[in-house]
Structure 1
Amino acid sequence: MLLKNAKLGIAPLTWTNDDKPEIGKENTFAQCLSEMALAGYEGCEIGSQFPKDIETLKFELELRGLRIANQWFSFTATCDTVSAVQEAFLKHIRFLKALGTNIVGGGEFGRSIVALESVPIVNETQPSRPILTAAEWKTFAERIEALGKIAYNEGMTLCFHHHMGTCVETVEETERLLNDCDSKYVSLNYDSGHFYFAGANPLSALKKFVTRVSHVHLKNVRPEVLATVKTQKLSFLAAVMAGIFTIPGDSAGAIDFKELFYVLDAIKNSGTDHNSYSNWLIVEAEQDPRKAHPLKTALSARAYLKETLGH
């Protein structure tokens, strides 16, 4: 059995899309939660359709035996001071804390091209995404660490998510940020699919960063679609709609998740009586739910995890 202490969850992006709300709008919050539970997951991340009232959300979760793992926070440290976002960030992490999680994950969406549907997500000759100057990077990293301190003082862990179309997309940029931020305040939300999309080897990236990983997104990539994204110069959202992402275990995907699980299983967690990753593994594969049936997709991914992990 691998990763016997890890918690298995799924993101609501299988049913809906926060970046393009019209996608999956027919899939209700209640349907989403019920199908997550039916598929055998322990928990989930929070989507845009989820209730904002804590007690209402708690009731719906407890009814189905689910827990909250995380809710995305869009950092804007390339644009905004810490004081400008502190109130919103504190409200966000206290909401999550009240729901019983200690993780707050998100990526830097200041100046990102993720939502720009006319801009190619991959431009190998002249990137359209933000490339920071040395001075801009210093300010950015200092602000992320400061937000990490705020989270730490609230008993939460800031898990930074590298993401296509942002200033932290590559392995090198991820490494630079982690090196510039104290591990006490900033950890990594590792995403296998975003590293592959960025041209990296997800296994090598995980080995490099494994001691800083506090949250994991299990995302697969279809290489044939990736080739189309490059040749047709598709935007990020167009790439999603074209099927760039898929679930672990899909034969059309390129990533060997079992190798990733072996690496996570070998982490030495200080102060524990086991030696493997014990936080959340989140199936996250945003797709067009009209093409990839949400419940069927969730069931298929869960079956693969059970076969591969042994639980």
Structure 2
Amino acid sequence: MTTRSICFAGLSRDEQATVEAAFKQANAAHRWALANENEAEAVVVDMDSMYGQMSLMKAMSGGKVVVALTAGGRVDTDFKLSRPVTAEGIATLLAELETQAPPVAAEPAPVEAPVASAPAPAPEPAPAPPADPHLADYLRPGALKGPVRLQMGDAPAIVLDPAQGVYLGGATLKPLLPYATAIVREADLEPVDPAQLPALATELGGSHPFSRLAWILGLGGFNGSLAPGFNPNDRYKLLKWPQTEREFPRHFRIATVMMKGPALLTEIAELSGASLAEVTDYVNASLAVGVAEPDVIAPSEPEPAKGGLLGRFRR
């Protein structure tokens, strides 16, 4: 029996421990091993966190079997693990993966043929280039081992402190927009001594939660297009009244429209007086921090089958 590998990505430390304990219990009747995100065959992505879409895109670009971990009903993946996670739910998932997503078989050894008739070997395909990393990728849990400082171009310097889930920088967000689309490599991140963090907070302008940074990165990251994984023909709603930034006065009107009920992006634009690109950027930012979601109507429960002709029509 082939051992297969799986990874649970983007969970908090407490939930990670709980889920891995449930996995060990569920795995008693299977043969799976936990692996890191780069090496795992299947990746379970926490779609309810602000980092969910980032992890989803990374896993898909890496050719992984992707499983959505969510408390919601709508997913854009072939497999789903419902929250709260239980050993029974994981056992069901492993069985589905084993049935519907068989492991990639190793290539058979070439059969030795006579030299005269041996065909010329085909050239090795070039490996796919790695996805360009962006600042949002470094906000995911476990992406950074310690605090780092970043300054690119004319954008203000910021310090990321993953242990506290905060960034050090000014209170305004518009100056950080260049970071939304910039390619940020590990060489651009300068390690910072944790003992320097209090002084840097004073120097740079204060300490703010990662969610504010994720919001501005979502706002400016897609240039008026909806973030990958979301459908522009869906209706979108706000789950709660968000913090509206004074730097973006039209956002108050957009949020007011969305709080009235689910609506198409075009409807929100028409009712708020904002452009479609502004509405789309705002929805991206709200999706990134988990205060918005697509409105999906759950399918109604089928009626129990009845006998006779009417029952057959209903079935």
TM-score, normalised to structure 1, is 0.26
Q: Larger radius of gyration, structure 1 or 2?
A: 2
Q: Flag the structure with more relative contact order, 1 or 2, with Cα contacts below 8 A and sequence separation at least 6.
A: 1
